Amino acid sequence: MIKLLRIISLLEGLSYIAILSVTLGYISRDYVSTLGMTHGILFMVYVMQVMSISHKENWTSKQQLGLMLASVIPFAFIPAEIYLRKLDKRKYQEEEMTSV
């Protein structure tokens, strides 16, 4: 589940940067509706995934809030990716320990 959240987080963050690039004039305004729709869908999926996984994994409110803020702050998806990678690695190691 966390791997899927990592992928969605990366895609959502990159789509946000693409929208900001349109605002700054780096990308043509012809793509606003396509980029906007894509980002909106990715944003909603990301928020639903964070809420779903945080419930299943018993994350604290602080963890959940931090990941939610990462979706609205430009480039915050990078530290969120690092954090989610650590969580994923820790969970994988715990599963190995219990299976032995």
- What is the model's pLDDT at position 12? 96
pLDDT in tens, 41-87: 999 999 999 999 999 999 999 999 999 999 999 999 999 999 999 99
Alpha-carbon distance 100 to 84, whole Å? 25
Give the structural domain span for 28: 2-99
- What is the model's pLDDT at position 100? 65
> Is the confidence at residue 97, as pLDDT, over 90?
no
Hey, what are 46's tokens?
């990301």
The number of folded domains in the chain is: 1
> Global pTM?
0.87
- What is the model's pLDDT at position 95? 83
